[in-house]
Chains A and B, each alone.
Chain A
Protein backbone atom coordinates (compact mmCIF):
# COMPACT_ATOMS: atom_id res chain seq x y z
CA UNK A 1 0.00 0.00 0.00
CA UNK A 2 2.78 2.38 0.94
CA UNK A 3 4.60 1.56 -2.29
CA UNK A 4 1.49 2.24 -4.27
CA UNK A 5 1.17 5.55 -2.49
CA UNK A 6 4.76 6.52 -3.21
CA UNK A 7 4.34 5.48 -6.81
CA UNK A 8 1.20 7.56 -7.18
CA UNK A 9 2.94 10.55 -5.62
CA UNK A 10 5.86 10.12 -8.02
CA UNK A 11 3.53 9.82 -10.99
CA UNK A 12 1.67 12.92 -9.87
CA UNK A 13 4.98 14.76 -9.55
CA UNK A 14 6.05 13.73 -13.04
CA UNK A 15 2.75 14.90 -14.49
CA UNK A 16 2.89 18.14 -12.52
CA UNK A 17 6.56 18.85 -13.28
CA UNK A 18 6.11 20.20 -16.82
CA UNK A 19 3.24 22.34 -15.51
CA UNK A 20 5.51 23.93 -12.94
CA UNK A 21 8.40 24.31 -15.34
CA UNK A 22 6.18 26.15 -17.81
CA UNK A 23 5.20 28.78 -15.27
CA UNK A 24 8.22 31.03 -15.62
CA UNK A 25 6.31 34.11 -14.55
CA UNK A 26 6.03 33.65 -10.84
CA UNK A 27 5.43 36.36 -8.30
CA UNK A 28 5.03 36.57 -4.58
CA UNK A 29 2.65 38.53 -2.38
CA UNK A 30 2.82 38.57 1.39
CA UNK A 31 0.01 39.22 3.83
CA UNK A 32 1.18 40.71 7.11
CA UNK A 33 -0.98 42.53 9.67
CA UNK A 34 -3.85 42.19 7.18
CA UNK A 35 -1.98 44.17 4.53
CA UNK A 36 -0.54 43.07 1.20
CA UNK A 37 3.03 43.71 0.27
CA UNK A 38 3.82 44.74 -2.32
CA UNK A 39 0.52 46.58 -2.58
CA UNK A 40 1.28 47.13 -6.26
CA UNK A 41 2.41 44.12 -8.23
CA UNK A 42 3.68 44.55 -11.78
CA UNK A 43 3.14 41.54 -14.05
CA UNK A 44 3.57 41.01 -17.79
CA UNK A 45 0.45 41.53 -19.89
CA UNK A 46 -1.09 38.83 -22.10
CA UNK A 47 0.46 35.99 -20.16
CA UNK A 48 -0.66 33.55 -17.55
CA UNK A 49 1.00 34.47 -14.30
CA UNK A 50 1.39 32.57 -11.06
CA UNK A 51 1.31 34.42 -7.76
CA UNK A 52 2.30 32.75 -4.54
CA UNK A 53 0.41 34.40 -1.71
CA UNK A 54 2.08 33.96 1.67
CA UNK A 55 -0.14 34.59 4.65
CA UNK A 56 2.08 35.51 7.60
CA UNK A 57 -0.89 36.32 9.79
CA UNK A 58 -2.29 33.66 12.10
CA UNK A 59 -5.81 34.24 10.77
CA UNK A 60 -7.18 33.06 7.43
CA UNK A 61 -7.64 35.45 4.54
CA UNK A 62 -9.52 35.29 1.28
CA UNK A 63 -7.69 36.66 -1.73
CA UNK A 64 -10.41 38.00 -3.97
CA UNK A 65 -10.74 40.00 -7.15
CA UNK A 66 -13.65 40.45 -9.47
CA UNK A 67 -11.49 41.63 -12.36
CA UNK A 68 -8.81 38.95 -11.88
CA UNK A 69 -11.53 36.33 -11.29
CA UNK A 70 -9.85 34.95 -8.22
CA UNK A 71 -11.45 33.69 -5.04
CA UNK A 72 -9.04 31.81 -2.85
CA UNK A 73 -8.81 31.19 0.85
CA UNK A 74 -5.37 31.12 2.43
CA UNK A 75 -5.20 29.60 5.89
CA UNK A 76 -3.27 31.36 8.65
CA UNK A 77 0.52 30.95 8.40
CA UNK A 78 0.19 29.22 5.07
CA UNK A 79 0.69 29.95 1.42
CA UNK A 80 -1.37 29.41 -1.68
CA UNK A 81 -0.93 29.62 -5.42
CA UNK A 82 -3.11 31.86 -7.53
CA UNK A 83 -3.14 31.72 -11.31
CA UNK A 84 -4.27 34.78 -13.23
CA UNK A 85 -4.32 36.13 -16.77
CA UNK A 86 -3.75 36.51 -19.60
CA UNK A 87 -4.42 40.15 -18.75
CA UNK A 88 -4.80 43.10 -21.06
CA UNK A 89 -2.56 46.00 -19.97
CA UNK A 90 -4.21 47.81 -17.10
CA UNK A 91 -4.82 47.93 -13.37
CA UNK A 92 -6.65 45.16 -11.57
CA UNK A 93 -7.68 45.64 -7.97
CA UNK A 94 -7.71 42.83 -5.43
CA UNK A 95 -8.46 42.64 -1.73
CA UNK A 96 -8.52 40.37 1.27
CA UNK A 97 -12.18 39.68 1.83
CA UNK A 98 -11.83 39.05 5.55
CA UNK A 99 -10.05 42.36 6.18
CA UNK A 100 -11.23 44.48 3.36
CA UNK A 101 -10.57 47.83 5.04
CA UNK A 102 -6.80 47.25 5.21
CA UNK A 103 -6.00 44.43 2.82
CA UNK A 104 -6.04 46.05 -0.60
CA UNK A 105 -3.77 45.89 -3.59
CA UNK A 106 -3.52 46.21 -7.32
CA UNK A 107 -2.00 44.12 -10.09
CA UNK A 108 -0.55 46.21 -12.90
CA UNK A 109 -0.28 44.38 -16.19
CA UNK A 110 2.11 45.97 -18.70
Chain B
Protein backbone atom coordinates (compact mmCIF):
# COMPACT_ATOMS: atom_id res chain seq x y z
CA UNK B 1 0.00 0.00 0.00
CA UNK B 2 2.80 2.37 0.89
CA UNK B 3 4.40 1.79 -2.50
CA UNK B 4 1.20 2.70 -4.31
CA UNK B 5 0.80 5.76 -2.15
CA UNK B 6 4.30 6.94 -2.97
CA UNK B 7 3.98 6.38 -6.73
CA UNK B 8 0.65 8.15 -7.06
CA UNK B 9 1.72 10.90 -4.66
CA UNK B 10 4.82 11.55 -6.79
CA UNK B 11 2.80 11.96 -9.97
CA UNK B 12 0.09 14.09 -8.36
CA UNK B 13 2.78 16.17 -6.69
CA UNK B 14 4.34 17.08 -10.04
CA UNK B 15 1.06 18.29 -11.45
CA UNK B 16 0.02 19.78 -8.10
CA UNK B 17 3.11 21.96 -7.77
CA UNK B 18 2.39 23.42 -11.18
CA UNK B 19 -1.25 24.05 -10.25
CA UNK B 20 -0.16 25.70 -6.99
CA UNK B 21 2.23 28.02 -8.81
CA UNK B 22 -0.38 28.86 -11.43
CA UNK B 23 -2.94 29.68 -8.72
CA UNK B 24 -0.43 31.94 -6.99
CA UNK B 25 0.63 33.59 -10.24
CA UNK B 26 -2.95 34.50 -11.07
CA UNK B 27 -3.80 35.71 -7.57
CA UNK B 28 -6.40 38.44 -7.73
CA UNK B 29 -7.32 37.79 -11.36
CA UNK B 30 -11.01 37.14 -11.71
CA UNK B 31 -12.17 33.81 -13.07
CA UNK B 32 -8.89 32.01 -12.48
CA UNK B 33 -10.55 29.29 -10.39
CA UNK B 34 -12.78 28.41 -13.31
CA UNK B 35 -9.88 28.32 -15.75
CA UNK B 36 -7.74 26.16 -13.50
CA UNK B 37 -10.71 23.85 -12.94
CA UNK B 38 -11.21 23.60 -16.71
CA UNK B 39 -7.52 22.79 -17.08
CA UNK B 40 -7.65 20.08 -14.43
CA UNK B 41 -10.85 18.60 -15.87
CA UNK B 42 -9.52 18.56 -19.43
CA UNK B 43 -6.25 17.09 -18.17
CA UNK B 44 -7.97 14.23 -16.34
CA UNK B 45 -10.17 13.49 -19.36
CA UNK B 46 -7.13 13.59 -21.64
CA UNK B 47 -5.16 11.38 -19.25
CA UNK B 48 -7.87 8.72 -19.33
CA UNK B 49 -7.88 8.82 -23.13
CA UNK B 50 -4.09 8.66 -23.28
CA UNK B 51 -4.06 5.73 -20.85
CA UNK B 52 -6.63 3.88 -22.94
CA UNK B 53 -4.50 4.32 -26.05
CA UNK B 54 -1.12 3.87 -24.36
CA UNK B 55 -0.28 0.87 -26.49
CA UNK B 56 -1.22 2.59 -29.73
CA UNK B 57 0.73 5.73 -28.81
CA UNK B 58 3.82 3.71 -27.89
CA UNK B 59 3.78 1.74 -31.13
CA UNK B 60 3.19 4.76 -33.33
CA UNK B 61 6.17 6.08 -35.31
CA UNK B 62 8.29 2.94 -35.05
CA UNK B 63 7.99 2.73 -31.29
CA UNK B 64 8.91 6.30 -30.46
CA UNK B 65 5.38 7.66 -30.26
CA UNK B 66 5.41 7.95 -26.49
CA UNK B 67 8.65 9.93 -26.48
CA UNK B 68 7.36 12.27 -29.18
CA UNK B 69 4.09 12.66 -27.30
CA UNK B 70 5.86 13.53 -24.04
CA UNK B 71 8.26 15.89 -25.81
CA UNK B 72 5.28 17.59 -27.47
CA UNK B 73 3.29 17.95 -24.25
CA UNK B 74 6.27 19.39 -22.40
CA UNK B 75 7.24 21.62 -25.32
CA UNK B 76 3.72 23.04 -25.53
CA UNK B 77 3.75 23.74 -21.79
CA UNK B 78 7.08 25.56 -22.13
CA UNK B 79 5.66 27.78 -24.90
CA UNK B 80 2.57 28.55 -22.81
CA UNK B 81 4.66 29.43 -19.76
CA UNK B 82 6.86 31.71 -21.87
CA UNK B 83 3.81 33.40 -23.27
CA UNK B 84 2.43 33.88 -19.77
CA UNK B 85 5.64 35.34 -18.41
CA UNK B 86 6.07 37.69 -21.34
CA UNK B 87 2.47 38.82 -20.95
CA UNK B 88 2.93 39.32 -17.23
CA UNK B 89 6.13 41.28 -17.77
CA UNK B 90 4.07 43.62 -19.86
CA UNK B 91 0.83 43.86 -17.91
CA UNK B 92 1.78 42.63 -14.46
CA UNK B 93 2.16 46.11 -13.03
CA UNK B 94 -1.23 47.26 -14.25
CA UNK B 95 -2.88 44.15 -12.89
CA UNK B 96 -1.17 44.61 -9.56
CA UNK B 97 -2.41 48.20 -9.40
CA UNK B 98 -5.92 47.47 -10.52
CA UNK B 99 -6.22 44.24 -8.63
CA UNK B 100 -8.84 45.53 -6.23
CA UNK B 101 -10.86 47.65 -8.63
CA UNK B 102 -11.76 45.37 -11.46
CA UNK B 103 -10.50 47.28 -14.46
CA UNK B 104 -9.60 46.64 -18.07
CA UNK B 105 -6.62 44.54 -17.09
CA UNK B 106 -8.88 41.86 -15.73
CA UNK B 107 -10.63 41.24 -19.01
CA UNK B 108 -7.19 41.24 -20.60
CA UNK B 109 -6.16 38.95 -17.78
CA UNK B 110 -8.27 36.27 -19.38
CA UNK B 111 -5.61 35.87 -22.02
CA UNK B 112 -2.76 34.55 -19.89
CA UNK B 113 -5.38 32.61 -17.99
CA UNK B 114 -6.10 30.50 -21.06
CA UNK B 115 -2.38 29.91 -21.47
CA UNK B 116 -2.10 28.85 -17.84
CA UNK B 117 -5.21 26.69 -18.05
CA UNK B 118 -3.52 24.89 -20.93
CA UNK B 119 -0.38 24.45 -18.82
CA UNK B 120 -2.44 23.01 -15.97
CA UNK B 121 -4.23 20.73 -18.42
CA UNK B 122 -0.96 19.50 -19.93
CA UNK B 123 0.58 18.86 -16.51
CA UNK B 124 -2.45 16.87 -15.39
CA UNK B 125 -2.50 15.08 -18.75
CA UNK B 126 1.10 13.95 -18.50
CA UNK B 127 1.20 12.94 -14.86
CA UNK B 128 -2.43 11.84 -14.80
CA UNK B 129 -2.01 9.28 -17.58
CA UNK B 130 0.62 7.52 -15.47
CA UNK B 131 -1.70 7.52 -12.45
CA UNK B 132 -4.63 6.22 -14.49
CA UNK B 133 -2.51 3.42 -15.95
CA UNK B 134 -1.13 2.53 -12.56
CA UNK B 135 -4.57 2.41 -10.96
CA UNK B 136 -5.88 0.44 -13.92
CA UNK B 137 -3.08 -2.06 -13.36
CA UNK B 138 -4.18 -2.40 -9.75
CA UNK B 139 -7.78 -2.94 -10.79
CA UNK B 140 -6.71 -5.58 -13.29
CA UNK B 141 -4.98 -7.49 -10.53
CA UNK B 142 -8.28 -8.01 -8.74
CA UNK B 143 -9.09 -8.11 -5.08
CA UNK B 144 -5.49 -8.42 -3.91
CA UNK B 145 -5.08 -4.92 -5.24
CA UNK B 146 -7.51 -3.42 -2.76
CA UNK B 147 -4.90 -2.16 -0.32
CA UNK B 148 -2.88 -0.88 -3.28
CA UNK B 149 -5.94 1.01 -4.43
CA UNK B 150 -6.35 2.53 -0.98
CA UNK B 151 -2.72 3.56 -1.18
CA UNK B 152 -3.27 5.08 -4.60
CA UNK B 153 -6.26 7.09 -3.44
CA UNK B 154 -4.38 8.26 -0.35
CA UNK B 155 -1.59 9.28 -2.71
CA UNK B 156 -4.00 11.45 -4.67
CA UNK B 157 -5.22 13.07 -1.45
CA UNK B 158 -1.67 13.66 -0.22
CA UNK B 159 -0.73 15.17 -3.56
CA UNK B 160 -3.77 17.44 -3.49
CA UNK B 161 -2.89 18.51 0.04
CA UNK B 162 0.60 19.36 -1.14
CA UNK B 163 -0.88 21.51 -3.90
CA UNK B 164 -2.76 23.42 -1.22
CA UNK B 165 0.42 23.79 0.81
CA UNK B 166 2.34 25.12 -2.19
CA UNK B 167 -0.38 27.63 -2.82
CA UNK B 168 -0.61 28.65 0.82
CA UNK B 169 3.17 28.98 1.01
CA UNK B 170 3.24 31.21 -2.04
CA UNK B 171 0.35 33.25 -0.66
CA UNK B 172 2.48 34.07 2.36
CA UNK B 173 4.66 36.10 0.02
CA UNK B 174 3.66 39.79 0.20
CA UNK B 175 1.43 40.87 -2.65
CA UNK B 176 3.94 43.22 -4.24
CA UNK B 177 6.56 40.48 -4.61
CA UNK B 178 4.26 37.75 -5.78
CA UNK B 179 4.57 38.53 -9.50
CA UNK B 180 8.35 38.61 -9.30
CA UNK B 181 8.50 35.37 -7.34
CA UNK B 182 6.02 33.50 -9.53
CA UNK B 183 7.73 34.79 -12.68
CA UNK B 184 10.97 33.28 -11.44
CA UNK B 185 9.27 30.04 -10.50
CA UNK B 186 7.61 29.82 -13.89
CA UNK B 187 10.88 30.59 -15.70
CA UNK B 188 12.69 27.78 -13.85
CA UNK B 189 9.71 25.46 -14.26
CA UNK B 190 9.74 26.06 -18.02
CA UNK B 191 13.50 25.55 -18.25
CA UNK B 192 13.20 22.21 -16.46
CA UNK B 193 10.41 21.16 -18.81
CA UNK B 194 12.46 22.19 -21.84
CA UNK B 195 15.34 20.01 -20.63
CA UNK B 196 12.97 17.07 -20.15
CA UNK B 197 11.40 17.63 -23.54
CA UNK B 198 14.81 17.66 -25.23
CA UNK B 199 15.74 14.43 -23.46
CA UNK B 200 12.59 12.76 -24.79
CA UNK B 201 13.57 13.85 -28.30
CA UNK B 202 16.97 12.29 -27.68
CA UNK B 203 15.37 9.06 -26.48
CA UNK B 204 13.25 9.09 -29.63
CA UNK B 205 16.37 9.41 -31.77
CA UNK B 206 15.25 12.76 -33.18
CA UNK B 207 18.26 14.43 -31.56
CA UNK B 208 21.43 12.37 -31.63
CA UNK B 209 23.99 14.66 -30.06
CA UNK B 210 25.05 15.83 -26.61
CA UNK B 211 23.89 12.58 -24.99
CA UNK B 212 26.85 12.34 -22.61
CA UNK B 213 26.21 12.69 -18.91
CA UNK B 214 27.84 15.88 -17.68
CA UNK B 215 27.84 15.35 -13.92
CA UNK B 216 26.47 13.10 -11.24
CA UNK B 217 25.14 14.54 -8.01
CA UNK B 218 23.02 11.52 -7.11
CA UNK B 219 25.25 11.04 -4.03
CA UNK B 220 23.96 14.41 -2.86
CA UNK B 221 20.35 14.32 -4.00
CA UNK B 222 18.45 11.77 -6.08
CA UNK B 223 15.33 12.65 -7.99
CA UNK B 224 13.54 9.82 -6.23
CA UNK B 225 13.67 11.40 -2.79
CA UNK B 226 10.85 13.76 -1.89
CA UNK B 227 13.09 16.80 -1.89
CA UNK B 228 14.72 15.64 -5.12
CA UNK B 229 11.30 15.26 -6.69
CA UNK B 230 10.36 18.74 -5.52
CA UNK B 231 13.51 20.22 -7.01
CA UNK B 232 13.03 18.20 -10.19
CA UNK B 233 9.56 19.60 -10.77
CA UNK B 234 10.20 23.12 -9.52
CA UNK B 235 13.60 23.97 -10.96
CA UNK B 236 14.30 21.00 -13.23
CA UNK B 237 16.93 19.38 -11.02
CA UNK B 238 18.45 16.27 -12.60
CA UNK B 239 21.08 14.25 -10.72
CA UNK B 240 22.80 12.99 -13.87
CA UNK B 241 22.01 15.46 -16.64
CA UNK B 242 23.17 15.08 -20.22
CA UNK B 243 24.86 17.91 -22.08
CA UNK B 244 21.65 18.19 -24.08
CA UNK B 245 19.58 18.76 -20.95
CA UNK B 246 21.95 21.46 -19.73
CA UNK B 247 21.93 23.20 -23.11
CA UNK B 248 18.13 23.05 -23.38
CA UNK B 249 17.76 24.33 -19.82
CA UNK B 250 20.06 27.31 -20.31
CA UNK B 251 18.62 28.08 -23.74
CA UNK B 252 15.03 28.07 -22.44
CA UNK B 253 15.96 30.29 -19.52
CA UNK B 254 17.79 32.71 -21.82
CA UNK B 255 14.87 32.76 -24.27
CA UNK B 256 12.51 33.49 -21.40
CA UNK B 257 14.54 36.45 -20.22
CA UNK B 258 14.91 37.91 -23.69
CA UNK B 259 11.16 37.58 -24.24
CA UNK B 260 10.37 39.24 -20.92
CA UNK B 261 12.75 42.09 -21.66
CA UNK B 262 11.19 42.69 -25.04
CA UNK B 263 7.72 42.57 -23.53
CA UNK B 264 8.71 44.97 -20.79
CA UNK B 265 10.40 47.49 -23.03
CA UNK B 266 7.65 47.98 -25.54
CA UNK B 267 5.28 50.02 -23.37
CA UNK B 268 8.14 52.45 -22.70
CA UNK B 269 8.84 52.94 -26.38
CA UNK B 270 5.15 53.56 -26.95
CA UNK B 271 3.78 55.02 -23.73
CA UNK B 272 0.33 53.94 -22.68
CA UNK B 273 -1.87 56.45 -20.92
CA UNK B 274 -2.79 55.36 -17.46
Chain A residues proximal to chain B, CB less than 8 Å: 12, 16, 19-20, 48, 58-62, 66-67, 69-76, 78, 80-83, 85-86, 88, 97-98, 100-101
In the assembled complex, the CB of B3 is this many whole angstroms from the nearest CB of chain A, namely 6
Given A83-B205, A97-B7, A66:B130 Cβ within 8 A: no
Chain B stretch 38-57: residues in CB contact (< 8 A) with chain A: 54-55
How far is B70's CA from A19's CA once the two chains are assembled, in angstroms?
Answer: 21
Decide if B33 is an interface residue (CB 8 Å cutoff). Answer: no
User: Do residues A73 and B211 form an inter-chain contact, with CB atoms below 8 A?
Assistant: no
Interface residues on B, range: 35 or more
Which secondary structure dominates chain B's binding surface? helix
User: Do residues B133 and A69 form an inter-chain contact, with CB atoms below 8 A?
Assistant: no
User: Do residues B240 and A66 form an inter-chain contact, with CB atoms below 8 A?
Assistant: yes
CB-CB < 8 A to A97: which residues of B?
Answer: 7
User: Do residues A69 and B242 form an inter-chain contact, with CB atoms below 8 A?
Assistant: yes
Given A59-B137, A62-B130, A75:B55 Cβ within 8 A: yes
In the assembled complex, the CB of A37 is this many whole angstroms from the nearest CB of chain B, namely 19
**Given A66-B218, A85-B211, 19 extra CB contacts under 8 A:** A12-B61, A16-B61, A19-B205, A20-B62, A48-B208, A59-B140, A60-B134, A60-B136, A66-B239, A67-B240, A70-B203, A72-B58, A72-B203, A73-B54, A73-B129, A74-B58, A83-B204, A86-B211, A98-B134
CB-CB < 8 A to A67: which residues of B?
Answer: 213, 218, 240
